[in-house]
Amino acid sequence: MKTKEQLMQILDQFQTEGNLVSAEPFGNGHINDTLKVTDDKGEIKYVLQRINHNIFTNVEMLQNNIHIVTSQIRKKLEERGETDIDRKVLNFLPTKEGKRYYFDGDSYWRVCLFIPNSKSYEEVTPELSYEAGKAFGDFQSMLADLPEGALGETIPNFHNMEFRLEQFHDAVKANPAGRLEEVKDLVEEIEKRAKAMCIQEDLYRAGKLKKRTNHCDTKVNNIMFDANTQKVLCVIDLDTVMPGFVLSDIGDFIRTGANTGAEDDENLENVNVNMDIFKAYTRGYMETAKSFLSPTEIQMLPYGGRLLTYMQTVRFLTDYINGDTYYKIHSPKHNLQRTKAQFKLLQSLEEHAAEMDGFMKEWL
């Protein structure tokens, strides 16, 4: 990591205000490095992020996408006559040269306004989950009229299950870290489900499912709530907003919010689907999204939870087999522990599939 002086020099490249004195690590994402920036009065003013350039290889496209998305949301909020808009949409600062990011010869950096008096959660109640559902549905509807081709794919094939399985098969074949033997039961479980988990791609080819603009990382901690009212302020972490299938944005919240345990829970007994959270999220989401969803998408919503949980199981296991090259890890077997916890959640979602499907009848 950079020294404090280096971080201050990086901040100095941006059009910031006030006397900034510190930049401290913040949040617990698996990809970028996030820091909160404080001024001499002790107030947190900005969020500074080092973009993971190995993963987001086209930073120009990434920052351009984010600019398009935040401008569109800002416009919609203004049209609705909303107030306090700087807390409801992320606001990125240009550099002194007018660019959307700064390259220091080694890393790429960006800065946005810190949203004051806000809070994100790693675990939610049904009430918060209902609010989050409304917010992600609204997020998608505000972006629904972006012209096709406006946004680039910041990570090509990001939520394409067929592609994720190809990467998985490549890892299994090459076995670069010699870990295959240890995980052969999990590999078998993944293979068993592979065909059933590629339905979206099949439906798309048959012209029965369309692509929309999705957030593609609707983790529970990517929503900022007002610290006093517990209402949603802002959807954050916009790196992966891109064209894709709508189930992504349902599935990843079910995967993270409707889990009674942690994403990487060591104790698999903790991991199960929380049906109250699922129901509350779905109710909120359907309120803001039902006007643009097709009956096929509505019917497939519970499948979305299974799909994204399966996809994450595949992605964590692929990274474990590859020797931990993608996700930040905090212990040597972290990716394996994550895989097992995600697989346990998948089994629980499978057990509850009929009940979840039944819950959707109200909207069909």
Binding region for ligand ADP (CB under 6 A): 26-27, 29, 31-32, 34, 47, 90, 112, 114-115, 118, 120, 221-222, 224, 236-237
The site partner of 250 among ligand GN1, ligand ADP, Mg ion, none (C-beta below 5 to 8 Å per kind) is none
The site partner of 274 among ligand GN1, ligand ADP, Mg ion, none (C-beta below 5 to 8 Å per kind) is none
Q: Does residue 237 touch Mg ion according to CB under 5 A?
A: yes
- Helices H / strands E in the chain, number of each: 12, 10
- By beta-carbon distance, which residue lies closest to ligand ADP? 29
Alpha-carbon Rg for the chain, nearest whole angstrom, is 20
Binding segment for ligand GN1 among 26-34, 105-113, 202-210, 241-249 (CB under 6 A)?
A: 26-34
Measured from the CB of residue 217, what is the shortest distance to ligand GN1 in angstroms?
A: 5
157 vs 230 by CB, closer to ligand GN1? 157
| Amino acid residing at 259 | N
Contact letters for Mg ion, residues 102-141 (x by CB under 5 A)? ----------------------------------------
Measured from the CB of residue 316, what is the shortest distance to ligand GN1 in angstroms?
A: 8
CB of 129 closer than 8 Å to CB of 280: yes
Residue among 160, 241, 165 nearest 200 (CA): 160
Angle between helices 247-257 and 275-289 (to 10 degrees): 150
Q: Does residue 55 touch ligand GN1 according to CB under 6 A?
A: yes
Alpha helical stretches, state H, the chain: 4-11, 59-79, 126-143, 161-174, 184-193, 199-205, 247-257, 275-289, 295-299, 301-321, 334-351, 353-359
Contact letters for Mg ion, residues 1-40 (x by CB under 5 A)? ----------------------------x-----------
Among 13, 49, 154, 222, binds Mg ion (CB under 5 A): 222
Binding segment for Mg ion among 7-15, 230-238, 275-283, 336-344 (CB under 5 A)?
A: 230-238
Measured from the CB of residue 234, what is the shortest distance to ligand GN1 in angstroms?
A: 15
Handedness of CA 142, 147, 153, 157 (dihedral sign): positive
Residue among 254, 312, 304 nearest 124 (CA): 254
Q: Does residue 76 touch ligand GN1 according to CB under 6 A?
A: no
The site partner of 112 among ligand ADP, Mg ion, ligand GN1, none (C-beta below 5 to 8 Å per kind) is ligand ADP
Q: How many CB atoms lie under 10 A from the CB of residue 326? A: 18
Token representation of residue 231: 């209402």
Q: Cα-Cα-Cα-Cα dihedral of 281, 284, 288, 289, to 10°? A: 30
Q: What are phi and psi of 258, to 5 degrees?
A: -95, 30
Q: Does residue 305 touch Mg ion according to CB under 5 A?
A: no
DSSP state, residue 102: E
CB of 247 closer than 8 Å to CB of 212: no
Contacts to Mg ion from residues 138-197, by CB under 5 A: none
Q: Does residue 312 touch ligand GN1 according to CB under 6 A?
A: yes
Contacts to ligand GN1 from residues 190-229, by CB under 6 A: 217, 219
252 vs 297 by CB, closer to ligand GN1? 252
| Amino acid residing at 249 | D
Residue 24, beta-bridge partner list: 36
Contact residues for ligand GN1, defined by CB under 6 A? 29-31, 55, 217, 219, 237, 240, 263, 312
